[in-house]
Structure 1
């Protein structure tokens, strides 16, 4: 045996140095893999060697989450977006239903592309289509809304095909049960006018608008106005299409709104695609950048609301995307907005939260240095901070999140607002509609 070992050693020593280094490294790695096995243990109480309770086999995806490149601890927790928002009377007076999201179908959308960005399981999407094959043919301007369980699973989906027909899909076992509601009321247009005397919400309610109608008005003008900074005496006019059945209001749809403040009038008019435009057909939304840096960096940990801790077996959601980047890389605002948080957030390290309009929020974590302050207005591309490795982080990276209506979405696939306008026949049809709507939005009765 000794002679064999001596022969192997002599042969090894005769190899070129690069070959010896490579062979030695491979030997060490092979031995490490052979002896390493993850396990769960607890002390046996006697001060001796801990006893093994059960072995856990990890697949490649789970193993990756434990490696340094993952850069985000598996049990990482971050502040909830509700904690980031300062007290706001509009949010308090017109609350959004928790766990519910609304979406207007755009050109090129499919049921899968819409729900995937919210990390809704493909099995649920397939089950929906199985319940109603018509969901494969969504039309521009139709509206979807859905409700999630506390665990993030799809509970109910509502599809508004048009002003009369709505289909609802409720979870039933492993599938969904479909039901259809057809309204047969009479639709008519109503103009509601008012003047600010206190908050906008109170003034709009005094003018005869419901909470849902007020919320629609706020969303339509969210990119043009800060409703918290309106003044007493500001005037507004709202064109609302309402359905009446047996003398009771059933549902309504905002057709157009005009709000005058500081001597200037702001308009939002609904087009056939369900979106709002100004009087010339230009889009009102502010465009977003896809990435919060000048160049795109490697993704070290993906968005995953169902990420499992391989040891505890519990869900530890990863609500954003991690980009591996050198410390000190400039971090940019992806869209126009207002800084609502710029502080140290414990596990999140130094972080910044920016509110865009009233539906969108972006968050940037583990920063080295903050360059903005709460309350500061920022434009798309402005520097917010320098990237770092603060908080609970296992490597230099930027953790980036996008929230829509207080729900985390995948930053790499989310449909973000963009500067857009109507063209061709769509614009001509819209301008004809404007000529009918604008005169009805007169501020004087």
Structure 2
């Protein structure tokens, strides 16, 4: 045994100094971990069962932790355990799509854009990759999505995919429903007749009421609002302002089945605004310039460490129950400037319970962003902001275990992953796409006549 010890000591002495330091440090750490255990201290006392003296500072009892207590020691427990829910809701108005007639509240809709795949679309909404794989592996045609096509899907209360509809064209829709653990496909071919219909009118009260009085359905009114959302605030249109809407409608057996917005023109205070649909499903002005306002990916000047990621199926590390985390937490020093990621209007700026000081900004009619746990608010409700404007200073207010910014992005009243979601971007058509679009504009614009 002494000979083995001498051999080890000699081998250790022959190691380079950095290696000896590293090996010695690892040995100390290993020894410390091996002897450590949870303990409590008791003041100087005597054991009740025997006259055994217990000296101060000596371990009196080893603590046996339950599984729920062990979860509380995990790294996840250092973050807020539940979604911070503000005490009040975002103000609604008559332009918000609150008409649920004939529609499932849990159904989401998405228009395919350049570079989209089935997995990139669904996972950004928090749908589990296993559900996406199950759907795609059994239905390989879904790998051939085209720009401008529409996907809609329905989830159950646990956030699991139950069905998906793929609008291949205006005539063909494919539906995939979960049956006995597999997605079963059904195909519906519409044999109706499509025709264009011009609907025009003047503002007399709200835009929603004025447009419906001109013959538009509620879903068609919503399509008009979304197409023009970046150009104007429909709530500020005045009596006498005019609008003209060109719809393509399908009738089947004398009954209207579906419709698609082709173009819209609004005249307000003597100025005309246009939005015309291109083949990619988006709307542009008469020159082919994009109408969307570009977003920044991050709400700060530089990127910070992510302390908690977007996870709509997040498991509470203490309670073991599902506690969705609908945003991203960025760890940053208190007082870091927080920026608006896009042009918009502040709808909430206040202190509210678990969220602490927080700001909500509405961008157009489809997008809202939420910023929570702030130290100082720099904006007020109703204020207009531009992309990159300072709206607050980061902090540690509300239910928070450390300085950080909780940031959320909502699209069509659905929280999405801010780090992977397809963001609105400024830009227009180019090349052959623009040439084809301008040819379409020449046909559509002359039809957009006021009464």
Q: TM class, shorter-chain normalised?
A: 0.7 to 0.9
Task: Show CA shifts across 1:80-114 (max 9, x none).
Answer: 8xx43213012266458522221111111100011
TM-score by length of structure 1 reads: 0.86
**Do 1:94 and 1:214's aligned partners in 2 also have CA atoms closer than 8 Å?**
no
Q: Residue 381 and residue 316 in structure 1: after superposition, are their counterparts in 2 closer, same or farther (change >3 A)?
A: same
SS in 2 for 1:340: strand
Matched, 1:359 2:366: yes
Match of 1:98 among 95, 105, 112: 105
Q: Residue 106 and residue 87 in structure 1: after superposition, are their counterparts in 2 closer, same or farther (change >3 A)?
A: closer
SS in 2 for 1:84: coil
Please list every run of at least 4 consecutive aligned residues from structure 1 whose deviation after the TM superposition is greater than 6 angstroms. Answer: 18-23
Q: Hey, what's the Cα distance between the residues in 2 that align with 1:286 and 1:164?
A: 32
Matched, 1:335 2:347: no
**Do 2:335 and 2:394's aligned partners in 1 also have CA atoms closer than 8 Å?**
yes
Q: Which moved more, 1:386-395 or 1:168-177?
A: 168-177
What corresponds to 2:74 in structure 1? Answer: 63
Match of 1:212 among 200, 219, 236: 219
**Quick check: which has more Rg, 1 or 2?**
2
Q: Hey, what's the Cα distance between the residues in 2 that align with 1:212 and 1:97?
A: 14
SS in 2 for 1:319: coil
What corresponds to 1:224 in structure 2? Answer: 231
Matched, 1:124 2:124: no
Corresponding pairs, count: 407
- Counterparts of residues 4-403 of structure 1 (less than 5 Å): 27-32=31-36, 35=38, 55=67, 63-66=74-77, 68=78, 72-79=79-86, 83-91=88-96, 94=99, 98-403=105-410
SS in 2 for 1:123: helix
**Do 2:197 and 2:246's aligned partners in 1 also have CA atoms closer than 8 Å?**
yes
What corresponds to 2:442 in structure 1? Answer: 435
The answer for unaligned runs of 5 or more in structure 2 is 1-20, 40-60
Q: Hey, what's the Cα distance between the residues in 1 that align with 2:27 and 2:238?
A: 77
Task: Show CA shifts across 1:318-338 (max 9, x none).
Answer: 111111111000000000001
Task: Show CA shifts across 1:375-407 (max 9, x none).
Answer: 111000000100001111111110100011111
SS in 2 for 1:163: coil
Q: Residue 162 and residue 348 in structure 1: after superposition, are their counterparts in 2 closer, same or farther (change >3 A)?
A: same
Q: Hey, what's the Cα distance between the residues in 2 that align with 1:414 and 1:134?
A: 23
TM-score by length of structure 2 reads: 0.85
**Do 1:93 and 1:201's aligned partners in 2 also have CA atoms closer than 8 Å?**
no
SS in 2 for 1:189: strand
**Do 1:99 and 1:407's aligned partners in 2 also have CA atoms closer than 8 Å?**
no
Q: Hey, what's the Cα distance between the residues in 1 that align with 2:328 and 2:208?
A: 36
Q: Hey, what's the Cα distance between the residues in 2 that align with 1:62 and 1:232?
A: 62
SS in 1 for 2:96: helix
Matched, 1:414 2:418: no
RMSD over equivalenced CA pairs, Å = 2.5
Task: Show CA shifts across 1:399-424 (max 9, x none).
Answer: 10001111111111011100021000
Q: Hey, what's the Cα distance between the residues in 1 that align with 2:284 and 2:408?
A: 28
SS in 2 for 1:223: coil
**Do 1:124 and 1:175's aligned partners in 2 also have CA atoms closer than 8 Å?**
no
**Do 1:76 and 1:392's aligned partners in 2 also have CA atoms closer than 8 Å?**
no
**Do 1:327 and 1:389's aligned partners in 2 also have CA atoms closer than 8 Å?**
yes
Q: Hey, what's the Cα distance between the residues in 1 that align with 2:104 and 2:290?
A: 27
Q: Hey, what's the Cα distance between the residues in 1 that align with 2:73 and 2:67?
A: 15
**Do 2:199 and 2:216's aligned partners in 1 also have CA atoms closer than 8 Å?**
yes
